[in-house]
Each structure stands twice: as C-alpha cells, then as structure tokens.
Structure 1
Amino acid sequence: MSDLITSPQNPRIKALLRLQQKSSERRQQGLTIVEGLRELTVARQAGVAVPTVFICPELAGAAQPPSLVAALDKSTEWVTVSKAVFERVAYREGSDGVLALVRPPHRTLPDLRLPSNPLLLVLEAVEKPGNLGAILRTADAAQATAVIVCDPRTDLYNPNAIRSSIGCIFTVPTVATSRPELLAWCKEHGIRTYAAALTDAALPYTTRDFRGPTALVMGTEADGLTPELRQACDETIIIPMRGAIDSLNVSTATAILTFEAVRQRDEMVGL
C-alpha cells in the first residue's frame, strides 16, 4: 500500500484525470478506468488485468474489500487517496471509494468464437455511452454472443459506458468494426441480418424468425441506420408503435428485439 495521496496536483492523480477525460489517452496507454467495487470485481472475474487500484479508506472502510482482494493478483498496486482527492477523480455519485486502472481486451471480428447458432447485437455509430452500457446489460442478461459496433462515435471503454453497463462490457465480447467488414463477416458465417428501421417495407418483429444465426442491427436514436447498412441487411423489421410517438430509445428497442429472439429460441428447444 502506498503513502496516502492528499493533493489533487499529485502527478498520478493528474494522469488519472487525463485517462478519464481523453479517449486518445486511453487508446495510447491501453488503459481505462473502472469505478466501483461491483464493476471492478466483475472485470477481474472476466479476466481483465488490473494494474492499479486507488482506494479511499474513508469511503471504502479501513480494510481492503475481501472480495476484491481475492479476485486480484499479487502484482496489483494499491494506492490510498484522501476523500478530497477521490471526490476529484470520481465520476459517479455515492461512490464506494474504489477506482482502478484496467487493461481492457481488444477484440476483432476474427477473435469472436461463434457457437453454432449465434445471436449478435449490432449497433451502428453509437455515440451515447449510456445507450451502449444499457445495451451491454441486455446482451449479458440474454446471453447474446457478442455486441458489434460499426463505426463507433464513442470509445467502447469510456468510463461512463462501463458504469452504465455495470461492468457488462467485460462479460460480453464487444468488437468495433466497419460496415463493410461486418457485412462480409456475417455473410461468411451465414448470419442473417435484421435491420430495425422505420420504413414502409419493414415487417413487424414478431412475424420474423430469429431462431437461426441472427444479427439484430440497430441505428442511432437521432438518425437511425444509414441507408447503406439498412439496404445491405437481409430484412427490415419494426416494433409497431400504437401511440403518438414513432420510435423508442435504442436501448429499449434493442431489449425488446433481443428477448423476442430469446423467446423464439427457448420455444425451439422446449424451454
């Protein structure tokens, strides 16, 4: 355990803030920040390396959290900080006084190990970390094969995305790729693509068959899918709206479609 850091001007705290605020810094160092005992324990149990843990005894308690100590290896450095310093670097309210540097995995499409009947969630140009995090929670809950992000506008390991996912970014294989690479890869692996889009040709999602290898393809909340990706998909589906609005938040829509696919698959095997 290091000496107590009490100044926000400490070089290690300044470096921590740069990592928190700049995606370029995270990419360059191959690090990101995880705040919270629960999220950090999930990351470690998923096999993610944790070089450094910053802990505030006043918030976390005098003893190191036993569950986290058990999950970490002996090479992890523990750094103690004052409450004032921790509150400077914390990015959530009601923090439990634990924050860490982690080395997130970097995956590509060929790295994904596909089962015989994969269920993939594809997001195009996602830009809100909160939406990404919520979709990762859905993917974890449904045991989707992977989340694939085409041409992302946000860092997949943005600390806010990690927080919103409650650590599910580490339990669900997540890949960033381009539209052409995604389409070629899906075709190569016999994966049928379903574009969720508000068009005259779209069919109600409950009428489609998601029991085979499936990719549910979602666009941004503001713009939807690009015409190029929508037209390249095998089918276009819609969640019928019965009220005054014509669309749902992308994370909500993704959850509805995902669990319809799960329902169909469960029925197929008699669950």
Structure 2
Amino acid sequence: MKIISSAQNPIIKNLLILHKKSKERKKQNLFVVEGKKEIERALLGSYFFKIILVREGSQKPFENFNKKIKDFIFVKKNLFDKVSVRSGSEKYMGIGISKKHSFKDFKPKNNEVFLVANSIEKPGNIGALLRTCSALGVSGFILSDKKADLYNPSVIRSSLGGVFNIPILISDSKKIINYLKINNIKIISGSITEKSVPLNKTYIPKPCAIIVGSESKGLDIEWTKNSNEIIQIPMKNNIDSLNVSVAAAILIHYAIGN
C-alpha cells in the first residue's frame, strides 16, 4: 500500500499546482476535486481519475468504479489535512481528467430547456448556476465567452458536483447562437431593456435557451439582438437586480412549468 508522507512528493506538489493554476489545469488536462460526494458524482458522470488520494485511516472508496480510477494512494493524516481546502472535513481528493465540452461532445439529455451563461466572471456564480441546472433538470448548460475556468475548485465546490452530471458546452456567442438557431431552440434573454416583457405576462415556448449575463454588465448585445424574446423578472421595493443564479432559477422554473 502506497503512503505519501512528504509535502515534497511530486504528486502532492502537482496537486497544489492544479488547485491554484488554471493554466496548468488546461495544460495537463487535469483538475482536482475534493469530497466523497463530489468524486462519486464525477464517476457517475463518466469522468476518469488518474489518482484518488485517501486520508490515512480511511477506507478505500469507490469499489464499484475501479475501471475509472487508475490508482489509489494513501496520504498521512497531517499532510492530507494540510493540503485539503476543506481543512480536514473530507477524507478523499481526486485528480480527474477534464472533458473538452465541444459541440462534438455536447449530448443534451433532451431538447427542452437550456441555460446559457454569458460572460460570467465569478467561479462561485458559475458553480451556483450549475447546481441550479442540475437540481432543476435542464437539458444542458452552455458557457458563452467564458471568463472563468470550469474546473476551478470554487466552481466544483459551489456546484456540489453538479458540474459533473449535466451536459456542458463551451464556445463563443456567435457559434452558440448559430447552434441554437439551427436546432430551432428559441433564444429567451433575461435582461432589463425597453423591449423587455414581464415574466408573468409571457409564454416561454420549448425548446428554449434561457440566457443570463453578469450582474454588473448584463448580456452582450449579440444576445439581445438575436433574441426571440427579452424578459424581465418583476421586482418590488426599488430592487432592480438579482443574483444571477437566483434569476436563472426563477426563469428556468417558469420555462419548465409552461
């Protein structure tokens, strides 16, 4: 049984690099995920793992997924707790192999309601959107003109592993708009403009793609120009914006319920 006891071990050093540096995650085509539940969701989502690190004294996990895991390595308790982002609350970390998320690999669960996140900058917001999409059962999540790394640890953590169990596409706005139009998916943009229709006074047809943008800048003009409908959520008490994941949840729930 392999046991790592030194912080100078190449595996531990690379783990820390992958945690911190987006360029290295992209270069190596690897990412780090912490937590038994999150790793299990990745395995169920057809991800493969190069290594699963196990805190000394814990049982070897994921017996049903041995074909998807190349190696298990135990790590001394004090060292595992030192490199763990969750400060000892978890017993497992994995180094997984990233997916491409190209048009070729995009396989929606069905053709009903999609969410497009346009130029979202904060990893925590992307993670929250993925968690919302996973919970509400959207057809697929589309990241347009991405500003943050999908495999950033904050995205994985705030998505509660939702990043692993939903079809994801990453591309630029022009190509995504073309894809939606070719597949007869209506573009429904959430934005406050002169042309916006209140949510409670509109019907959202399916299949559709709900488009949300950053809280500070809103949607890129390319999306509003190509929208079949621009809708806004009625708000009270002089509030004129919502957190993007909250707004997305309202719009998705309304679209699914139509």
- The alignment's TM-score, normalised by the length of structure 2, stands at 0.94
* Residue 137 (structure 1) aligned with residue 136 (structure 2): no
C-alpha separation between the residues in 2 aligned to 1:91 and 1:173? 27
Deviations 1:223-256 (A, max 9, x none): 1112232222221110011123211000000001
Contact 2:48–2:68 (CA under 8 A) maintained in structure 1? no
TM-superposed deviation, 1:37 = 0.2
Contact 1:116–1:213 (CA under 8 A) maintained in structure 2? no
C-alpha separation between the residues in 1 aligned to 2:69 and 2:105? 27
Task: Identify the residue that residue 67 of structure 2 maps to in structure 1.
Answer: 73
- 1:104-253 map, 5 Å: 104-114=98-108, 117-253=111-247
C-alpha separation between the residues in 2 aligned to 1:192 and 1:30? 34
* Residue 43 (structure 1) aligned with residue 37 (structure 2): no
Contact 2:112–2:207 (CA under 8 A) maintained in structure 1? yes
Contact 1:55–1:98 (CA under 8 A) maintained in structure 2? yes
Identity value in percent: 34
TM-superposed deviation, 1:115 = 6.5
C-alpha separation between the residues in 2 aligned to 1:192 and 1:74? 38
Gaps of 5+ in 2: none
TM-superposed deviation, 1:133 = 1.2
C-alpha separation between the residues in 2 aligned to 1:32 and 1:103? 6
Gaps of 5+ in 1: 265-271
Task: Return the letter of the residue paired with 2:177.
Answer: L
Aligned residues: 258
TM-superposed deviation, 1:222 = 1.5
* Residue 103 (structure 1) aligned with residue 97 (structure 2): yes
Contact 1:55–1:81 (CA under 8 A) maintained in structure 2? yes
Contact 2:52–2:94 (CA under 8 A) maintained in structure 1? yes
Task: Return the letter of the residue paired with 1:210.
Answer: I
C-alpha separation between the residues in 2 aligned to 1:74 and 1:115? 22
Counterpart secondary structure, 1:102 = strand
Give the root-mean-square deviation of aligned CA atoms.
1.7
Task: Identify the residue that residue 64 of structure 1 maps to in structure 2.
Answer: 60
77, 85, 89: which one aligns with 1:83: 77
C-alpha separation between the residues in 2 aligned to 1:233 and 1:18? 41
Task: Return the letter of the residue paired with 1:197.
Answer: S
C-alpha separation between the residues in 2 aligned to 1:234 and 1:23? 36
